[in-house]
Amino acid sequence: MPQYINVEVSDGIQIITINRPQAKNAITIDTAVEMAAAFEEMDARDDVRIGILTGAAATFSSGMDLKDFARTGKRSVVEGKGFAGFVEAPPKKPLIAAVEGYALAGGCEMVLACDLVVAANNASFGLPELKRGLVPGSGGMMRLPRRIPYHIAMEVVLTGDMFSAERAHQFGLINVLTEPGLALAGAIKLAQRISENGPLAIQTAKRLINEGLDWSSDQMFDLQRPRMAHIFSSLDAREGSTAFAEKRKPVWQGK
């Protein structure tokens, strides 16, 4: 049984809660290993279509546990997976960040590794590494300029200052703003909307959106075509069309 995270599955949604409130949900190597296992389980389970990552006690995460690092000398990095067991190799299934309180340093980089973000309107984000003579090397410098305008990303990284959920929403980093205490509920609502769709199509769409970011306009359709061909010959595609014609909800098989 995991000691530092809680995992629950309900109605096709796997909720992973970082549960180290005494350390503001900072990530130790042991926490990262448990998170990596939870994401592997999420991808392996046929009854899970989407995941939600959140933190206990109204805080998302303050990033790497520096006290644990000082004590053990071990960074919170899993080989092949990166910080927190997933930032360099996110799960194949969509992942929503449900943010309350602070998402700082590695905590903010975990948010950037997620596919969608729901946050309380009083939440705070930040990449303060430069204030410590470090750099945000777990995706902050690479992902943030892809999520928000270049000049704003530069400001966030180079100043190391926190920025509000309201400002993050203004620049498109957050999908849904909620009242404080309701981020997880909002993320569950969003997950339910997504999980109504074909599971094979959901995973394929996530993969193609991410891979397509690096494709040139003259190659993108040729590169996309073989990666989506299986969708149109799938049982789910046939079921979706049949259900539409019969005016009923589809019964997906993920095949």
Active site residue 246: no
The answer to whether residues 36 and 71 touch, using CB atoms and an 8 Å cutoff, is: no
CA torsion sign for 16, 19, 25, 30 is negative
Catalytic-labelled residue, pool 34, 41, 79, 109: 109
Half-sphere exposure in the Cβ direction for 33 (13 Å, CA) = 8
Tabulate helix, strand, coil % of the chain (nearest 5): 45, 20, 35
Cβ(22)–Cβ(3) under 8 Å? no
CA distance 226 to 34: 35
Set 129, 166, 196, 211: catalytic member: 129
* C-alpha torsion 77→200→48→92, nearest 10: 0
Q: What dihedral angle (degrees, nearest 10) is formed by the CA atoms of 94, 100, 102, 106?
A: -20
Catalytic, 129? Answer: yes
Q: Residue 55 in contact with residue 11, Cβ under 8 Å?
A: no
| Neighbour-count burial for 185-215, b at 16+ CB within 10 Å, e otherwise | ebbbebbeebbebbbbbbbbbbebeeeeeee
For residue 127, with 0-12 CB atoms within 10 Å meaning exposed, 13-18 middle and 19 or more buried, which class applies?
buried
What are the catalytic residues? Answer: 109, 129
